[in-house]
C-alpha cells in the first residue's frame, strides 16, 4: 500500500478470522482494537513459551506482560518476509524469558559472592579503630607548638634519640627534654589517656 492509498477498513479490520500478520500491521499504526485481537490470539502461547523457560508462575506472568508490551511498541518491526507473525511473537517471548533467567542467575551469583566474601568482623573493626586512633593522634599533634611537634615527630616517628633530636635541631639536650615532656603532657591530655 502506498502513502496515497486509503486503507480498506473491512480488509484491515481484525476479526475472529483475521490473521496475526494483518493485526500486527494495524497495531503498528496504533490500532488498540487490533492489539486486543493480537492479545487474544497469542497470550496463551506466549505464556506457555515463557513458563517453559522461566518456570516460576509469577515471573512468567511478568515476562508475558513484557512481551505483549514489546509487541505493542515494536509491531512495526515485524517483517512478514522473514517469517510468520506467530514465529516473530514467540521469538520475542523466548528471548525475554531467557533474559529473565539470566538476570535471576546473575543476581543469585552476586548474592552468593557477597555471602561468600567472608570478611572477618574483628579485622574490619581493628582497621577502623586503628584508623580513628591515627586521626586522633594527628589532630592532637596539630595542637602542639611547631617546636614540640617537630621534636615528637623526630623522636617517635623518626626513631631518633633525644640526643640525636637535639643535634638535628641544633639545640641543647635539656631543651629537647623539656619540649618533649611538655609535648607528651599535652598529647596525653588531648588523647584522654589516664595517668
Same domain for 85 and 161, yes or no, is no
Distance (Å, rounded) from C-alpha 3 to C-alpha 65? Answer: 33
Give burial (CB, 10 Å; 0-12/13-18/19+) of 173: middle
Same domain for 110 and 128, yes or no, is no
| Chain segment 99-147, per-residue pLDDT in tens | 999 999 999 888 887 776 666 666 767 777 788 888 888 888 888 888 8
C-alpha distance from residue 69 to each of 22, 25, 159 (Å): 18, 16, 72
Nine cell digits for residue 130:
586503628
Nine cell digits for residue 40:
487474544
Looking at 81, 101, 116, which one is the last position of a domain? 116
For residue 190, which phi and psi values (nearest 5 degrees)? -65, -40
Most confident range (mean pLDDT) of 4-13, 36-45, 121-130 is: 36-45
C-alpha distance from residue 135 to each of 44, 98, 132, 139, 178 (Å): 65, 52, 5, 6, 26
Same domain for 62 and 78, yes or no, is yes
Give the range of the structural domain holding residue 107, as residue numbers without chain letter: 9-116
- CATH number, domain of 16, equals 1.10.1740.10
Looking at 86, 116, 146, which one is the last position of a domain? 116
Distance (Å, rounded) from C-alpha 157 to C-alpha 152? Answer: 8
pTM comes to: 0.52
- CATH number, domain of 161, equals 1.10.10.10
Distance (Å, rounded) from C-alpha 11 to C-alpha 26? Answer: 11
How many domains are there within the chain? 2
Looking at 116, 133, 159, which one is the last position of a domain? 116
Q: Report yes or no: 78 and 71 within 8 Å, Cβ to Cβ.
A: no
Does residue 164 fall inside a structural domain? yes
Amino acid at each position: 500500500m502506498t502513502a496515497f492509498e486509503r486503507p480498506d477498513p473491512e480488509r484491515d479490520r481484525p476479526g475472529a478470522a483475521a490473521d496475526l500478520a494483518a493485526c500486527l500491521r494495524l497495531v503498528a499504526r496504533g490500532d488498540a482494537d487490533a492489539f486486543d485481537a493480537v492479545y487474544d490470539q497469542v497470550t496463551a502461547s506466549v505464556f506457555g513459551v515463557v513458563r517453559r523457560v522461566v518456570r516460576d508462575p509469577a515471573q512468567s506472568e511478568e515476562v508475558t506482560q513484557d512481551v505483549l508490551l514489546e509487541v505493542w511498541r515494536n509491531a512495526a518491526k515485524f517483517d512478514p518476509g522473514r517469517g510468520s507473525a506467530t514465529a516473530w511473537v514467540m521469538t520475542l517471548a523466548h528471548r525475554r524469558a531467557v533474559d529473565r533467567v539470566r538476570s535471576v542467575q546473575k543476581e543469585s551469583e552476586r548474592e552468593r559472592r557477597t555471602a561468600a566474601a567472608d570478611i572477618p568482623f574483628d579485622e574490619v573493626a581493628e582497621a577502623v579503630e586503628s584508623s580513628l586512633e591515627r586521626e586522633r593522634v594527628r589532630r592532637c599533634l596539630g595542637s602542639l607548638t611547631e617546636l614540640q611537634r617537630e621534636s615528637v615527630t623526630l623522636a617517635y616517628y623518626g626513631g631518633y634519640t633525644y640526643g640525636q633530636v637535639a643535634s638535628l635541631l641544633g639545640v641543647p639536650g635539656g631543651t629537647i627534654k623539656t619540649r618533649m615532656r611538655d609535648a607528651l603532657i599535652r598529647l596525653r591530655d588531648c588523647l584522654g589517656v589516664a595517668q
